[in-house]
Structure 1
Amino acid sequence: MYDEIKGNASKVSPQEIDKDISTGLILTQKNDIPHDDEWSHKILAQKEKRAREILSDREEFVKFLVKVSNKLDKLEDTVSHSNVKGVELVNLLLKYTSAFFSLLSDYLDGRYTNLPYTTLLTVVCALLYFISPVDVIPDFIPIAGYADDLAIILSCGKFIKDDFRRYMLWLHENRRGNAN
């Protein structure tokens, strides 16, 4: 599963991050999801205590990544079995959530450690929202149920854009280096 997630993560182009964030936030707006910075900060702040616990305990960190991986599996199934309009929204969510999973995995394994604590905290908060069964729009609602998750994930990407771009550049270079 890790290789599949890495494959999805590598679909994020460091040069396209700004465009993807703008496109994704427009898609969430079509589903009546507020996505201003204040709303996103409020949602992320609700997850901060748990995120700090995860970051302070390696075993909890690993368990958390397993939960994220399981949710990504379900999301991948949704994408692969969906002919529904709006699959672009879910594809974007899959791509960026996979990239955040990859970032945390590489950090945990010591492959990429050039990350400020606040960046790690923000990513964990966003992924906690992603795996939460209780959010603004329940995920069992086809496609639209992921609009709020996408808004939070992309807002996180916006908040950590410089660190995220550096990581994605590193990931692309690292993958290319491993291919040779």
Structure 2
Amino acid sequence: MKIDFEEIIRKLESKANTIYFDTDKLKQLLITAKEKAEGNKQLMEIWEDLKLIIDLVKDWIKGDYKELSKTSVIMIIISLLYLVNPLDLVPDFLPGGFIDDLAVIAYVVKKISDELKTYKQWRSINKTDETIEMKAEFVDDTADVEDIDDILNEDEDTDEEI
């Protein structure tokens, strides 16, 4: 089985661009992708990469991480759209049905590997700062801005399809 990655990108690029400009849809896509991947034995091979790109997009949405190109965000969205679509090249309900999803995510991770490396470095530096900030939040109860992680982890009932 040969996967035409460029064809997949062409087919999903328009939808990915729409989601790029709609934060609510992007948040819902992150939730759906994470839920689909959690505990899926076939996807364990790429679980760390998947968590990394989801965290990257979360930090980008929050405005904490700004060094992410639009092209990389679109590529990540495309990979997540492909993952959540049960009727892709190899339907997910078939044995081995996630092999194409694995390949698409691995392809995207490889394409944006330089930006992922930069993000990992940023995250390793800023996680220490984040811990200090979290301690300060417990002392300073004047902050009333809802954290994106809380929003992304809420159970949302929605009829809107991604």
* TM superposition score normalised by structure 1: 0.65
Which residue does 1:162 correspond to in 2? 114
Corresponding residue to 2:33 among 68, 77, 80: 68
1:59 aligns with 2:21: no
Overall identity of the aligned pairs, in %: 27
Structure 1 unaligned blocks of 5 or more: 1-32, 80-86
1:92 aligns with 2:60: no
Q: How far apart are the structure 1 equivalents of 2:35 and 2:79?
A: 16
Aligned residues: 132
> What is the Cα-based RMSD across aligned positions, in Å?
2.0
Runs of 4+ with deviation above 4 angstroms = 176-180
Shift of 1:177: 4.8
Decide whether the 8 Å contact of 1:45 with 1:125 is kept in 2: no
Decide whether the 8 Å contact of 2:29 with 2:80 is kept in 1: no
Decide whether the 8 Å contact of 2:30 with 2:80 is kept in 1: no
* TM superposition score normalised by structure 2: 0.72
Deviations 1:28-76 (A, max 9, x none): xxxxx435xxx2121122111111111111222222222222213xxx3
Q: How far apart are the structure 2 equivalents of 1:91 and 1:70?
A: 13
Bigger-Rg structure (1/2): 2
Which residue does 2:2 correspond to in 1? 34
Corresponding residue to 2:55 among 91, 95, 102: 102
Shift of 1:169: 2.0
Query: Is the deviation greater in 127-136 or in 164-173?
Result: 164-173
With a CA cutoff of 8 Å and minimum separation of 6, indicate the structure with the bigger relative contact order.
1
Which residue does 2:125 correspond to in 1? 173
Shift of 1:119: 0.9
Structure 2 unaligned blocks of 5 or more: 133-162
Deviations 1:125-159 (A, max 9, x none): 111101111111122234x2221111101110111
